[in-house]
Amino acid sequence: MTQEAVPDGGPKRSIVRRRRPLTFDRVSFMVVFLGLPLAVFVVFVVWPFVQALYYSLTDWSGFTPDMNFVGLDNYVKLFHDDIFMKAVRNNVLLAIVVPIVTIVLSLTLATLVTIGGSGTGTVRGLRYAGFYRIISFFPYVIPAIVIGLIWAQVFTPSSGILDAVLSKIGLHGFENYAWLGDARTAMPASMFVMIWGGVGFYMVLFIAAIRGIDPSVFEAARIDGAGRFRTAISLTVPLIRDNVQTAYVYLGIAALDAFVYMQALNPGGGPQNSTLVMPQQLFTTAFSKNQFGYSTAMGVVLAAVTMLFALLVFTVNALTGGRDQRKVKVSR
């Protein structure tokens, strides 16, 4: 029973709400459209996680049915494994740098394409905006492994096009320079490849978000005297904040994985393990050393770090305003 106030401000009246009886149609609908998807999710998603957690507590080799329960020994060994901890640090660095740079570049390009055109007349993007969208999106349609192999050839010291171009323009210090063979440049070069492969997709994502904003908002900002930079920072970004948050989470998860790119660019983890990431070490431990229990513990740590990253992003977004931010002020 609920109470509802009448429109003229008089006393509240009670309204009795009765539950609809469970019929065969309602029960069958819940079973088919709620119970069946839930069962599929539990079997193919939740149960493998439970299995992985159990295997991480054993010394299973992966190729025999025998396994001994070792408790937390694998996790204790992990946090004393210098190579794995180096991989963790590399993943954290990727999760910080790659999403930030990709989002900044994508937002900049999306703003130019949508509202970065002439400062007079109708708000519009640059000329040939459609052509720019197609060109920028092109890298995303190429599989990541192909992108990694192409750039590995570009960075090759003896025959790579990058060193040849730099030498032609007078930078002879980069002649036969091993970009992926130097610990100082291997990680930045790998980050560049990942950013290059993702900018186009997130640019299109932000273009769609900006297109969903009422054009009169940008017109009002222009009348108030806001420039392009002020409009982008104080107006566009707050209004597509949820899209930026989603993009950051996706990019962070991709950076915490990064297996395909790193395996194509530097299969061995790079000089001094400078580009080694957790999935690479997991793969090597499982299939080269036959230590599936230990490698599964690495996978559990990777899953925990990924969930912690997503939780951190959502928490920061909620603490700094998030969905509650409705009003946007545009300063002159």
- Report whether pLDDT(316) > 80: yes
The candidate with the shortest Cα–Cα distance to 262, out of 249, 247, 248, 281, is 281
- The Cβ of residue 108 has, within 10 Å, a number of other Cβ atoms equal to 15
What is the C-alpha to C-alpha distance for residues 55 and 292, in angstroms, rounded to an integer?
Answer: 8
Asked if residues 331 and 234 have their Cβ atoms less than 8 Å apart, the reply is: yes
Q: What is the pLDDT of residue 3?
A: 53
Q: How confident is the model at residue 261 (pLDDT cuts 50, 70, 90)?
A: very high
Rg (CA), the chain: 27
What is the reported pTM?
0.80
Helix ranges, the chain (H): 24-30, 36-41, 47-55, 73-78, 82-115, 129-137, 144-154, 161-168, 186-211, 215-223, 228-231, 237-239, 241-257, 259-265, 278-287, 292-319
167 or 328: which leads in pLDDT: 167
The candidate with the shortest Cα–Cα distance to 93, out of 194, 198, 23, is 194
Which of the listed ranges 139-143, 235-239, 280-284 does the model predict with the highest average pLDDT? 280-284
What b/e string do you get for 159-188 counting C-beta neighbours within 10 Å, with b at 16 or more? ebebbeebeeeeeeeeeebebbebeebbbe
Average pLDDT over residues 14-20: 62
The candidate with the shortest Cα–Cα distance to 126, out of 138, 114, 137, is 114
Q: How confident is the model at residue 282 (pLDDT cuts 50, 70, 90)?
A: very high
Where do we find the tokens 């928490």? 315
What is the C-alpha to C-alpha distance for residues 178 and 187, in angstroms, rounded to an integer?
Answer: 12
CA distances from 44 to 32, 38, 41, 48, 50 (A): 17, 10, 5, 6, 11
Domains of the chain in sequence order: 74-322 (1.10.3720.10)
Which of the listed ranges 112-121, 133-142, 150-159 does the model predict with the highest average pLDDT? 150-159
Q: What is the pLDDT of residue 150?
A: 92
User: What is the share, in percent, of the chain residues with pLDDT greater than 70?
Assistant: 85
Q: How confident is the model at residue 330 (pLDDT cuts 50, 70, 90)?
A: very low
Tokens representing 274 are: 């400078």
DSSP per-residue codes, 245-262: HHHHHHHHHHHHH-HHHH
57-78 confidence digits (pLDDT tens): 999 988 888 889 998 999 999 9
- Report whether pLDDT(103) > 90: yes
Q: What is the pLDDT of residue 329?
A: 44
Average pLDDT over residues 74-92: 93
Asked if residues 271 and 184 have their Cβ atoms less than 8 Å apart, the reply is: no
The candidate with the shortest Cα–Cα distance to 85, out of 71, 75, 95, is 75
245-256 confidence digits (pLDDT tens): 889 999 999 999
